[in-house]
Amino acid sequence: MIAEIITIGDEILIGQIVDTNSAWMAQKLNLAGIKVKQITSISDDRMDILNTLHQASQRADIILITGGLGPTKDDITKKTLAEYFKTDLRTDLDALENVKQIFARYKVEVSEINKKQAEVLENCTILLNKNGTAPGMWVEEKQKIYVSMPGVPFEMMYMMEDLVIPKIKEKFKLPNIYHHTILTAGIGESILAEKISDIEDSLPEQIKLAYLPRLGMVRLRLSGSGPDANSLNSEILAFSKKIVDIISEYVIIESDTALEKAILDFMQSKKLTLSTAESCTGGYISHLITQHSGSSKVFLGGAVSYSNQLKVSMLGVSEQTLLDFGAVSEETVKEMAIGAQNKYKSDYSISVSGIAGPDGGSNEKPVGTVWIAISGKNKILTKKYTFGNKRAQNIERASVSALTLLFKLLKEEQA
C-alpha cells in the first residue's frame, strides 16, 4: 500500500510556517504498514493542485491532502478538487450543524462565509471535524483513495488517528511493520558502519538498517515487515542484540528517545540530581533538559556564567585559575563543575566553557575549542573538543558532547 502526502499553502513555500504535518503523517502511516512514496508541498494555485493530483495518482494508492479548506477566497482546494473529480459542491447538513454548534459555544452568529465551511464534494464521504469547522473528505475514484483534511495540525491529527487510518485498516489488509531504534553517541557514522558491517551484510531481505546521524549522535533503526508480527519482532531484536554487543560502550538506549530524556529517566530511576554551569552554550543544555516533562525530579538548576566575574561570584572559580589558565581551560571547567555541584547540592554537574565563534579565537585556542567537565560522586571527567567555526553547530555539539560525557560517568559510577 503506497501513500503520497500533498500539503497545500503558500505560507509553507515562503517559510512562514514549517510543515510539521507531513512528518507526523508519514510516521503514523509507516506504523500502520503504509509506505509513503512522496511528500510534496505546493502553492494555493489551481493548476499546481490539478497537476500534482494527477501525478500522485500515477504513483500512489492513497493520496492525502492537507490545507486550503478555509472559508476565505485564497482557500481554493475544495473548488479545485471539484474540478479534478468533475463534480459539484453540496452543503452537508451534519457539517453545517457542527459549524453552528462551534459558533454557539462562543455565542457568535454564524455568517454566510462560515456556512461555506459545510460545503463538501458531491462524491465524498464526509469526515466530521470535532476540533474545527472544516470537514474532511474521503473520495474513492478509479481504485484510488483521496483524503482531504484541514491544515491545522490538531484538527488533522484527530482525523488521521480517529477516522482516516482506522478506515484504511478496515478496507485493506496491511502488513506488520516493526521498528527498533538504538541511540548511540560519541562515535561517528562511518566508524559505526565499519564496526557492524558483518551484521549489516547478514541481514535478511525483510529487515533493513538505517543510519540517522545528528550532531554528536547516530540513531540506528532496524525496520522490518512481514505477515507474522511476533516472528518479525523476535528476529529484529536478535539482530539488535548482536549490534549492541559490539558497540555497547557507545549505546545510550534502545529506544527512539532523545539523549537528554534517556539520561533524565536513568537518573530519576537512581534518584540522582543534576546541575549545570554553562558558558559558551548559554543555557542550551538546560533548555534541552527542561523541555521534558518531569525534568524537575532530576534537574535542580544551573548558572549561565559568561563573564569571568560571574564564574567567580556564582560558582566559586578562583581568580588565580582564570588568570593562569583562562576561561577556556581544563582547570576552569573543573572548578565550575565543582562549584555548581556544591552550590546547588546536586549529585552530578555539567560544566562547559569554550569559544563558540565565529570570532574570539586565537592560535592557542581557535574557534571551536570547548572544554567540558562532569563532576560525579567519586570523580571528575574532563575532555577537550575542537569543533568547527559555526556558532550554532558548536553550541549544539558542545551540549550533546557534555550529555554524552555525563552518561559515560553515570554508567561507570552506577554500574
Task: Report, as an integer, the average pLDDT of 103-129.
Answer: 92
What's the pLDDT score for residue 112?
87
pLDDT in tens, 57-68: 999 999 999 998
Amino acid letter, residue 192: L
What's the pLDDT score for residue 241?
98
Task: Report, as an integer, the average pLDDT of 198-213.
Answer: 95
| Rounded CA separation 93/108 (Å) | 19
How much of the chain exceeds pLDDT 70, in percent?
100
pLDDT in tens, 368-402: 999 999 999 999 999 999 999 999 999 999 999 99
Q: How does DSSP classify residue 74? A: T
Task: Report, as an integer, the average pLDDT of 197-202.
Answer: 97
What's the pLDDT score for residue 225?
86
Phi, psi of 90 (to 5 degrees): -135, 155
Confidence of residue 28 (pLDDT cuts 50, 70, 90): very high
Confidence of residue 177 (pLDDT cuts 50, 70, 90): confident
Q: How many CA atoms lie within 13 A of 330 on its CB side?
A: 6
For the domain covering 2-171, report its CATH number.
Answer: 3.40.980.10
22 versus 225: the higher-pLDDT residue is 22
Give the strand pairing for 207-214 and 217-226.
antiparallel
| Rounded CA separation 128/184 (Å) | 43
Q: How does DSSP classify residue 181? A: E
What's the pLDDT score for residue 74?
76
Listed by start position, the domains of the chain span 2-171, 176-253, 259-414
What's the pLDDT score for residue 153?
94
Confidence of residue 75 (pLDDT cuts 50, 70, 90): confident
Q: How many CB atoms lie within 10 A of CB 245?
A: 10
Q: Which helix (H) or strand (E) holds 237?
A: helix 229-247
pLDDT in tens, 322-368: 999 999 999 999 999 999 999 999 999 999 999 999 999 999 999 99
Question: How many Å separate Cα 150 from the centre of its chain?
Answer: 22
pLDDT in tens, 212-257: 999 899 999 999 988 888 999 999 999 999 999 999 999 999 999 9
Q: Which helix (H) or strand (E) holds 333?
A: helix 330-344
Q: 259-414 architecture in CATH?
A: Alpha-Beta Complex (3.90)
Q: Which helix (H) or strand (E) holds 267?
A: helix 259-269
Q: What is the mean pLDDT of the chain?
A: 95
What's the pLDDT score for residue 68?
87
Q: 176-253 architecture in CATH?
A: 2-Layer Sandwich (3.30)
Non-local CB neighbours of 39 within 8 Å, separated by 6+ positions: 4, 5, 6, 7, 22, 26
